[in-house]
Amino acid sequence: MDRSQLAELVGQVGAETAAGMVERFVAMMGGRLGALRQAVAGDDDRRDVSLSLACSATMLGAHALADAATRCRTEDGAGAERALAEVEALAGPTCHALRGARAALSGR
């Protein structure tokens, strides 16, 4: 987690809005993972799903997660599957770190 990225976001949109963005990102993670799993397994168009996750993760400072999500889109076959495994491994710790950041933003 790059907390400086989150601090920059707070400077741009305010603490309350940034906290809401974090909350939505965490709440949507399960659905995004499921959609990404389906896209990689079915060799469907992974563009929209991976872009949504990667862009949101980048905005919140979760660069490792964003990079792995991007590789789900840009790599094929086993490479995409390895990237998906990385996304799955990073999702929990990233959401945990973001929850901590959200609590700090909310003053809790």
User: pTM for the full model?
Assistant: 0.89
CA distance 20 to 27: 10
- pLDDT 10s digits, 33-55: 999 999 998 866 788 889 999 99
Cα end-to-end distance, the chain, whole Å? 20
More confident residue, 5 or 33: 33
pLDDT at 65: 97
Rounded Cα distance, 21 and 43, in Å: 30
pLDDT in tens, 54-105: 999 999 999 999 999 999 999 988 999 999 999 999 999 999 999 888 877 7
What's the confidence (pLDDT) of residue 31? 94
The domain limits of the chain are: 3-102
